[in-house]
Structure 1
Amino acid sequence: MSSTGVGPLGFIKSRVNTAVCQEILEHFVLPSANELYGDADFIFQQDLAPAHTAKSTKTWLSDHGITVLDWPANSTDLNPIENLLGIAKRKIKDMRPKNAAELKAIVEASWSSITPQQCHRLIASMPHCIEAVIDAKGAQTKY
């Protein structure tokens, strides 16, 4: 996601290790970044999962010219994607898919219904979120 909208949704069928992480970056993140930003620079935000912080993943990101946001551990209140996922989950919470194909279709529909305006509002709310985390001395906030 970015302040201009969401990229395509990808479904991963395995655990995310370093190799899988780099495949996701190659096949999902780079095309999404190109679609959302074109030639403009961007800063990539990710959590500190081991696959994301592995030396080879850091090298991969650097080799592809991707600037990564320095990020504190355990900071979900500061990650707008968490709120976006909450929006998507609320849209599908009462649906009862009968099989995996129906579930996938429901998730895809929920994701594609997210508007650029919703994404922009989440990104624009970040200064308030940061202020709340500082005021809470790093404890959980309403965000």
Structure 2
Amino acid sequence: MLPSTYELYGDADFIFQQDLAPAHTAKSTKTWFNDHGIIVLDWPANSPDLNPIAKRKMKDMRPNNAEELKAAIKASLSSITPQQCHMLIASSMPCRIKAVIDAKGAQTKY
């Protein structure tokens, strides 16, 4: 992870967002982020409403098993350009965040 962040941001500050999988919220993982001075975004668990990129890319896929799902996820995420990512974040995240806050973390139209 660190080489990628240096390549993308250099010495600039950034906030890391993760998916809150159990391994990512383990004490050792939190310690690693802290030891490396990485700020992690406070993010609600299981929040597909706040994941417009993955949701949009996966909407028409119908995998039949776990292996097909993994392959579909890898293919869809690897096809996202940085420009697409920035555009999606800028265009829909403010509305998504407001909807999640208004719904107190419950499901939204997104």
Q: TM-score, normalised by structure 2?
A: 0.70
4+ residue segments displaced more than 3 Å: 86-91, 110-113
Question: What's the CA shift string for 1:67-125, capped at 9, x where partnerless?
Answer: 111222332312x3xx322344358x49xxxxx9xx69x82xx5444233321122222
Alpha-carbon spacing, 1:111–1:51, altered in 2? closer, same or farther (3 Å) = closer
2:55 aligned residue (86, 97, 101): 86
Q: Distance in 2 between matches of 1:75 and 1:119?
A: 17
Aligned pairs, number? 101
Q: Distance in 2 between matches of 1:113 and 1:47?
A: 19
The alignment-based identity, stated in percent, is 71
**Which residue of structure 2 aligns with residue 69 of structure 1?**
41
**Which residue of structure 2 aligns with residue 25 of structure 1?**
none
**Higher deviation after alignment, 69-78 or 123-132:** 69-78
> What value does the CA root-mean-square deviation take over the aligned residues?
2.7
Structure 1 gaps, min length 5: 1-28, 95-99
Counterparts of 1:1-143 in structure 2, within 5 Å, are 29-78=1-50, 80=51, 83-89=52-58, 93=61, 107=75, 110-124=76-90, 125-143=92-110
Question: Helix, strand or coil: the match of 1:127?
Answer: helix
**Which residue of structure 1 aligns with residue 65 of structure 2?**
none
Deviation at 1:36, TM superposition (A): 1.6
